[in-house]
Every structure is written in structure tokens, then in C-alpha cells.
Amino acid sequence: MNPDVIITCAITGDDTKVTKSPHCPVTPEQIAASAVEAARAGAAIVHIHVRDPDSGEFSMATRHYREVVKRIRDSKVDVLVNLTCGMGGYLSIGKRGLADTPAAGTDFVTQEERMRHVIELCAEGVYRPDIATIDCGTLNFGDGNRAYISTPDYVREGAGILRDLKVKAELEVFDTGNLWFVKQLIKEGLIPAPAMIQLCTGIAWGVPADTGHLLAMVNTLPPDCVWGSFAISRMQMPWVAQSVLLGGNVRVGLEDNLYLSRGVYASNAQLVAKARTIIEAMGARIVTPAQARERLQLH
């Protein structure tokens, strides 16, 4: 069991279904405010996607990330900022092969373009993130003909960019082969120690949210890494306990689950508070942002 638990709150993802929640933040001001509330509730890390303020659709615009980070920093609430680099990887396949591929819903771009906001914020030097995520493999993303494409060389390029920028890479693992490749990245010197690994479960069609699959991955983690896991939807809170029991950290938030209980929409702060209650009831304690920085060796 992990006695000292880092809580990450994933504030708002890229899926437009999240916007059906009355608590889903859309504008940079709303996203930052929700992140600050989550931090006050006990989150040491906030994981950020941004959206177009007018349409609510996902966005990759640096200006929106800049505003979110600025507002979080200006709040004077201490929290580690983790920016996604996952947008720009979707490829929708047509039914007639190359004749109608890429199909509607494709946003596929280069690895550097997926990370443009992080690169630009680091170059500006004012609102650089503490952490940025890399999706460590290709995944059949839900039913239909859409896949998320993250090839070995794309992942290598992303890891190298973050290493050179001195931004901590959070390595998102959606299946067992992704974890195998994370070990290869470490072997190649692309991931400074300690590796930060997020085991993402329950997302169709990646690794299922069940104890056996999670335990198998935990048993094959690289040594001395800092790891956490999460499950989506109704399994979010059971997974808080499951992850802590197996020695890991936890992630909650509206990106992964909209509900506090059946039919009751949650805010990010409420999800963090509920996770904190579970963690403390188990006899563990939550880690502060300062302690998380030390554990992750952020400088």
C-alpha cells in the first residue's frame, strides 16, 4: 500500500460529452478556476486540456493554455501544472481504404505540432508547465473506425523534446505493450529518472479496468518509477482504493467521470475531496505539491 498519495485532477478532457455536465469548465477562466478549486481540495497536480471558449470543442491553441496557466499561477495556490500533449493524434478511417481516408474526425498532426503549446510556453519562459503528457502507443479509440496514432518514433520524439525542455514527461500507458515501450524509452536515455507513469484503464479498447490487468502491469513497472492509475466512469472511485492498495497514486476528475454518485453531477473539487476521504480512510495521507515536486525531482 502507498502511504503517501499524490492526487492528480484531470480538469476537462477533449470529449464533447463532458460538456453535458453543468460543472464542465470550457473557457480558460473556468478551467483555471476549477483547477484552483481542485488544488484547494487536495490535488497536488492538475492535468489540463483546453477548449474553444465559443464552441466547447477541444483546442490546441497556445493562447488558451497560456491563459489557463497564468490564471492558476496568479491565484497563488500551489499546484503542479500538467499540460496534455495528446491532441492531434486521431485518425478516422474510411470504409473504402485510402479512397476515403482520412475521414471526418481526423486531427492527425506531427508530434512537434501536438506539443507546440508546451514548446512555445517554455520558449517564452513565463508560464512553462511542470509536467506534460505523452501517450505511449497507438490505440483503437472506442468503437467505429477511429484510432489514436502514437508510433514508437513519435513517442521518442516527444520524450526527447520534453527532456530537452526540462519538462517532466508523464507517460500515459493504455495497454501492456505501451508499458513495454516505456522501458525501452528509459533504456534509450529519453526519460530522466524517476519515470512518471500513468496507467490508464477502462478506455475502450485499451487495458480493461480490472484488478488482474492492473496487477500485471504493476508487477512489470520499471524500478524506482513514480506511478499512478485511474479508471473511468463508475470505476473512478473504486480505482482510487485499488491504486493505493497496489502502491500507486491516483487520478480523478471530470475528464474521466462526471458523477459524484448515481445521477448526481460532480465538480472537480468534489471528486478530489471524495478521493481524499477514501485515501485517508485507508490510513494513507495525501501529498502536498511541494512533496510531489521532491518525489518527482522537479526543479
The topology under which CATH files domain 4-296 is TIM Barrel (3.20.20)
Gyration radius of the chain's alpha carbons:
18
Confidence of residue 245 (pLDDT cuts 50, 70, 90): very high
Q: Would you state the pLDDT for residue 13?
A: 86
164: pLDDT strictly greater than 90:
yes
The whole-number average pLDDT for the span 243-251 is 98
Q: How many CB atoms lie within 10 A of CB 189?
A: 10
Q: Would you state the pLDDT for residue 15?
A: 80
Rounded distance between C-alpha atoms, residue 77 and residue 39, angstroms:
7
Confidence of residue 131 (pLDDT cuts 50, 70, 90): very high
DSSP letter at 126 equals S
Question: Do residues 239 and 256 lie in contact, with contact meaning Cβ atoms separated by under 8 Å?
Answer: no
What's the mean per-residue pLDDT of the chain? 96
Q: How many CB atoms lie within 10 A of CB 140?
A: 14
Hey, what's the torsion of the CAs at 58, 61, 64, 66, to 10 degrees? 140
